[in-house]
Structure 1
Amino acid sequence: MSNRSKRLAIFRFCAPYAKRVFGCEEELYFCPICGNGFPEEAALTGKVLTLEDVPPRKIGGKGLLLTCRKCNSDAGRKIDYHFKSQIELQSLGTILTGQSKEQETSADFILDGVRYPVSVEKTKEAIAIRLKANDPKKIDLLKDHMTALSKNSGWDGKEFKIEKTVKFDLRLLKLAFLKSGFLLVTAMLGYRYAFDKRLLIVREQLLHPDLDTLATCFWIEPGKEQPFPKRRIILVTDPLSLFLVTYDMGAVILPSHSSPIGLYEIMRRNWEKGQSINFTGTVYRWPERAVMALDKRFQG
């Protein structure tokens, strides 16, 4: 299915629910983040409503929902690219430690204080480091240097480094996970969830990532002794009603449709940093398409 067909399918599935939830006279699709409504033409062209991979495709996501062009581009510019930075760093780490399957990433090879751009590739047989052919002078310099080292047994005890530099902010990476978690649960439950007053603070944080509205109180690390299931949505009933959306490296906490008002403030007051907390709840798979289950329940 083309992206155009996917956008139209999502619009036509979600817009009737939006009409009932918001009492619209016409069928509109509402961006779950900013709350603005758009007609079908916006999904048809893709210039105003864009297909959103939730979470990014590289960590298991699919095109579940539409977001408006402004929210999509603002998030991409400010927070989503941290996913890419994290993936690139993880790729290099798993290649160099021999934990990865066949894959390739870029890095810098540093020898005697000189940086050389290289590709680092894990093959079935070995780890290959190849100089990128975008600077002929550096290529010749490295060849001459390595030849001289080989002739003089200079490689004995010789040290070199492989480094990768990316623009990376851990708080903004966690916000990127929060955004994906919010959209995953929205795809599962629908507009009645996304625009519940309990979620207003989440949407405000996503709209203004430069403001430290939530700090990182929504983020939890997996327990070593009792790790939670990865890539799942957990509807927690105890000690508080909330959602956990789990990833490979942690989880985000989101209000549920029955959470107490001011969930994050309650957590700040009662849960200490580093505290071990046991959760009781029901585990669901990440949705593979928009389901809008809560909107379906109240239709008619």
Structure 2
Amino acid sequence: MAKKSHEKRERLFKKYRDNLNLLVSNNLISEETNIYICPICLTKHKHLNEDDPLTLEDAPPKALGGKPNTLTCKSCNNRCGYLIDSHLAKRMNEIDQKKFLSNTSVKVKTIIDNEVLNGTLSVNENGEMSMFHSLKNNNPKTLNPIMENVEPGKIIDFNFGKSTVIPEKLEYSLLKTAFLILFEKTGYCLILDECYNTVREQLKNPDKRVYPEYFWFENIYGLKQGVYFVTDKGYECLFVTFNLDTGKTKSSFLVVLPCSINKIEDIIEKLTSAIKEEMTLTLYSLEIKDHNYIDDLDNIKKLFEWVEKRTNVNYYFSKDYPKSK
């Protein structure tokens, strides 16, 4: 396993290093060559194993069905995993628990004869529920007398206890997932632009609000997983869609990312209004089979040209990117 992990790290290092070299050699960006830049902190790595080595990064988080398709600094990986990804995984599992799915169990607080006890609520394959109270997790002097007096049909109240999830931090995990999926698909073509500094600052500083609110939605439109350009004039931005899989249920999300054409604050405000008004947006998918933005120079140049033309207020629509719903 360690050998396979190392080999994958080497392949990813080479893949994105070569992507960066291709962009620099064709004067599409100005940067050093033969390096890998961590997409989160922008630290430059000449080798995989340095003081802060490059590690496999899962997007979405591994606990929610993600696979390692990019690299980030070990410090970035650990910090984001502990401070933000853990909150998303906890919330998704909490949602599952409250659905009382078959073959699941959850820790709960029960109230019997005005006494609060720690219990485990289990649901078997037939959907039948049972409650178990352990001496290990309760005071035996309190538990035993109560259990002796519990009769069939007695009503027992319970609750799931207070959640430790911080809502803002689970949102930032969604942001991180979308950002790394964009990097996976387009390499350094887009993410080095200063418009993504707010994304990086948010991921590095999860205790304060940097990225504007209301940047994510449930994927109620049923878009396939992937990256999309919103091409309507004045609404230009990126939609990134992905699934989260707890092992019991799947949920699909849509995250809004910026491009250099518009300020993300303005875009999110306009999109919020557009969604309320049920406005139809025009999307262009980057997932078209023959569109490779890592090592296909023609496609990469078209991508840069599209963004550059869109910054021209007199330009309405690029013939290179036909409308597609």
Q: TM-score range by the shorter chain?
A: 0.7 to 0.9
Shift of 1:113: 4.2
- 1:203 is matched by which residue type in structure 2? R
Shift of 1:194: 1.4
Unpaired stretches in structure 1, ≥5 consecutive residues: none
Deviates more, 1:187-196 or 1:57-66: 57-66
Conserved 8 A contact 1:50-1:66: yes
**What CA distance in whole angstroms lies between the structure 2 residues aligned with 1:3 and 1:112?**
54
User: Of residues 183, 190, 206 in structure 2, which corresponds to 1:193?
Assistant: 190
Is 2:289 aligned against 1:296? no
Deviates more, 1:122-131 or 1:78-87: 122-131
What aligned pairs does 1:85-104 form with structure 2 within 5 A after superposition?
85-95=90-100, 100-104=101-105
Q: Deviations over 1:227-264 (max 9, x none)?
A: 333644333223622222235264210124xx523133
Q: Deviations over 1:80-136 (max 9, x none)?
A: 1111221231121122xxxx3433343333334444333333321223433346336
Deviates more, 1:54-63 or 1:231-240: 231-240
Conserved 8 A contact 1:55-1:61: yes
- 2:79 is matched by which residue type in structure 1? D
Residue 192 of structure 1 aligns to a residue whose secondary structure is coil
User: Of residues 156, 162, 168 in structure 1, which corresponds to 2:165?
Assistant: 168
**What CA distance in whole angstroms lies between the structure 1 residues aligned with 2:286 and 2:108?**
38
Quote the residue 1:67 is aligned against.
72
**What CA distance in whole angstroms lies between the structure 2 residues aligned with 1:79 and 1:52?**
14
**What CA distance in whole angstroms lies between the structure 1 residues aligned with 2:184 and 2:237?**
16
Q: Would the alpha carbon gap of residues 270 and 229 (structure 1) be closer, same or farther in structure 2, given more than 3 Å must change?
A: closer
User: Of residues 214, 217, 220 in structure 1, which corresponds to 2:214?
Assistant: 217
What aligned pairs does 1:138-287 form with structure 2 within 5 A after superposition?
138=140, 141-150=142-151, 155-156=153-154, 158-223=155-220, 227-229=221-223, 231-238=225-232, 240-247=235-242, 248=251, 250-256=253-259, 260-268=261-269, 271-272=272-273, 275=276, 276-283=278-285
**What CA distance in whole angstroms lies between the structure 1 residues aligned with 2:261 and 2:125?**
52
Residue 111 of structure 2 aligns to a residue whose secondary structure is strand
- 1:244 is matched by which residue type in structure 2? F
Q: Would the alpha carbon gap of residues 106 and 231 (structure 1) be closer, same or farther in structure 2, given more than 3 Å must change?
A: farther
Residue 149 of structure 1 aligns to a residue whose secondary structure is coil
Shift of 1:32: 0.6
Shift of 1:181: 0.4
User: Of residues 9, 30, 34 in structure 1, which corresponds to 2:41?
Assistant: 34
Q: Would the alpha carbon gap of residues 294 and 232 (structure 1) be closer, same or farther in structure 2, given more than 3 Å must change?
A: closer
Q: Would the alpha carbon gap of residues 292 and 135 (structure 1) be closer, same or farther in structure 2, given more than 3 Å must change?
A: farther
Aligned length: 279
TM-score, normalised to structure 1, is: 0.78
Q: Identity of paired residues, percent? A: 23
TM-score, normalised to structure 2, is: 0.73
Conserved 8 A contact 1:217-1:264: no
Residue 199 of structure 1 aligns to a residue whose secondary structure is helix
Q: Would the alpha carbon gap of residues 74 and 149 (structure 1) be closer, same or farther in structure 2, given more than 3 Å must change?
A: same
- 1:28 is matched by which residue type in structure 2? I
Quote the residue 2:315 is aligned against.
none
Quote the residue 2:32 is aligned against.
24
- 1:234 is matched by which residue type in structure 2? Y
Quote the residue 2:85 is aligned against.
80
RMSD: 3.3
